[in-house]
Amino acid sequence: MIALSANNINKTYGKVQALKDLSFEVNKGEIYGIIGPDGAGKTTLFRILTTLLLADDGNATVDGLDVVKDYKQIRNIIGYMPGKFSLYQDLTVEENLNFFATVFNTTIQENYYLIEDIYKQIEPFKKRRAGKLSGGMKQKLALSCALIHKPTVLFLDEPTTGVDPVSRKEFWEMLIKLKAQGITIIASTPYMDEATLCDRIALIQDGEFMQVDTPQNVIAGYPDTLWAVQTDQMPRLLKELRNNPLVKSAYSFGESIHVTFNGELRMDNGEWIIIKENNHFQLSTFNFQFNKITPTVEDCFMLLSKNQNNER
pLDDT mean over 155-183 = 89
Element (H, E) at 64: none
Section 51-73 average pLDDT = 97
Alpha carbons 122 and 141: distance in angstroms, whole number: 7
pLDDT band at 288 (very low <50, low <70, confident <90, very high): confident
Strands (E), 94-217: 153-157, 184-189, 200-205, 208-213
Query: 6 forms bridges with which residues in the sheet?
Result: 24, 60
Radius of gyration of the chain (CA): 23
Closest CA to 244 of 284, 216, 217, 195: 284
- CA 103 from chain centre, in angstroms, equals 30
pLDDT over 70 at 284, yes or no: no
Predicted confidence at residue 165, as pLDDT, reads 85
Order the strands of the 57-62 sheet from edge to edge.
16-27, 2-13, 57-62, 65-66
The pTM score is 0.90
* pLDDT tens digit sequence for 105-146: 999 999 898 898 888 889 999 999 999 998 889 989 999 999
